[in-house]
Amino acid sequence: MTSTITIDDLRDDTDAHAFRRLNEEWIGQYFALEAEDRRQLEDPVGQLVSPGGAVLVARLGDEVVGCVALAVTRPGVMDLVKMAVSPDHQGHGIGRSLVVAALDRARELGATRLELESNRRLASAVHLYEQHGFRHLGADEHEPGPYARADVAMALDL
């Protein structure tokens, strides 16, 4: 990859559309869209940003090629959600850059803990989270989230 990836905040409706498209693409490839997906993807500013979270996008020039979001769940705790990288741009470290940016932003926003849910079918994503210090949670360590597809729960104390 010769161009530089930049990561910044969701700016406008074009970015919101890219956020939705990237997530619908990967979710639809492996699973089915669920009610919580629709809620967040239809209104990322109202559902994620306005309550105190963030939506970050990775840009290659003017093209949004990846994204990740932080959702406030309770004081000091955020969920890492809606991470996606365009299939044409996977394998170039964009996901890694998005995780690092999300960790930094979560700290800036005052989070002391990040949680996430995933699925073991997404082994490369789970491995990426492990590499950044997320630990697997037992069933007694977390409340089940809104996603039927989630069979992995992880957390990182910041």
How many Å separate Cα 14 from the centre of its chain? 18
One-letter amino acid for residue 81 of the chain: V
Res. 3: pLDDT tops 70: yes
**How far is it, in rounded angstroms, from Cα 154 to Cα 47?**
22
Q: Look up the CATH number of domain 5-157.
A: 3.40.630.30
* Domain extents in the chain: 5-157
Place of tokens 């109202």: 46
What is the gyration radius of the CA atoms in the chain, in angstroms? Answer: 14
E-strand ranges in 17-62 read 54-60
Cut 0.85: pTM above it = yes
Q: Which two tokens stand for residue 127?
A: 């491995």
Q: Which two tokens stand for residue 72?
A: 């406030």
Give per-residue pLDDT as tens, 34-88. Answer: 999 999 999 999 999 999 999 999 999 999 999 999 999 999 999 999 999 999 9
pLDDT band at 1 (very low <50, low <70, confident <90, very high): very low
